[in-house]
Structure 1
């Protein structure tokens, strides 16, 4: 895996070429854009499918702007050429998505009327999901072992930067009127409630019947069938809360707990781990 550092954050060259970080700063934001922001492996594909179903419920059925998943991960960092042109010509509302930390966002986004959806997941399950993902995706280096990977994750020595820097960078914006925070664990425990919340935030409130239709189409088993052809199931593995217990030793769990308390105490940001 070839990487580079920009402002202390590691980026894979094959996924985020350095020139793209310059392009994104001047990216033309539309007031009706929907920007999805996630740290890797915290629910990007799932949330995208939910947004897609909400828009379809409102009669927005043109697939062009929704994109195929391989192009979605850094959808707010356009490449030169065809993809950059797609951003310009895509019909509104555009659905954009990115993993980049807050300091790399388009300069006009936070002052616009665009809707920003930030999805978060507890760091232990995020670490396990990322470990398995890296083993199946050639653009990132395959971890030598779970132990060595976890050391990297704790140190923040991983693509898109340290987990807590990423989460807290966005959490500081929680009082902004155009930002909605969703948590993976809440979505797993009560998907209908989270679908309603998201649809209302997007200005597209749904009937109870429509909510149930969205939920039925975006349950994990249904969604996994949709993407099973992508990279041997790398994008959808288990989709559960608490899978970290199958990988973490007691010592590793304590190290994560110590860092969790150190970084999130007095911030108001909390996660569920089971």
Structure 2
């Protein structure tokens, strides 16, 4: 299916002549043995957990469709047909949305499609449980992308705690601050492929920053553990080892780092969405 070249006004503007169009990959798979949150919510697939009137997958998809940065959407899951059947018809049958089977490895699934006709460059990767994603967050992420081969969206701990002092996140601690991921990854072109291949080798350790940096040698690991290196510098050095330019994009919206991994996350996301409905942004 070729990339969309014309916007579909009935389902969101998927095109912009002024900005490069990105392919958005939504990771909507789950563990082969099932997902605890899906079981908790009594649904078969985590991506189809309903929150405040819409499934998580539908929320993320509609947000991406409404963004002028996005030209195509690829939904990846082990059972893409089931997820397609669980979406509203305007999404399930939209010509700019593809449903692609994945395997049990996130990185290997991405590596198999990026840069192909299915997911042409540049590529933005996000997740189906990124239910608080907004156009404002996407705008901030793409504003911070200045041609890096790989860019990773993060939120600084002070930003998160100022808005949600009780929020529990996984923090990567560096000199000058601690950061939590926002489930937004920019892959610019073929030069990003070594980073995807590397991620495949460390995917099981993705919550343990020190194990990831250990792959880049003792010097970088020691500086990361002793917090004598900033996050931006650490990513830059890791990127250099792979022959690419890698940087974090530090987002100023706390909600960017809140996804749905635990029941308390679901309660928080639901409360935030209810508050947004009561007090919509101007």
Q: TM-score, normalised by structure 1?
A: 0.28
| Bigger share in helix | 1
Greater relative contact order structure (CA < 8 Å, 6+ sep): 1
Q: TM-score, normalised by structure 2?
A: 0.28
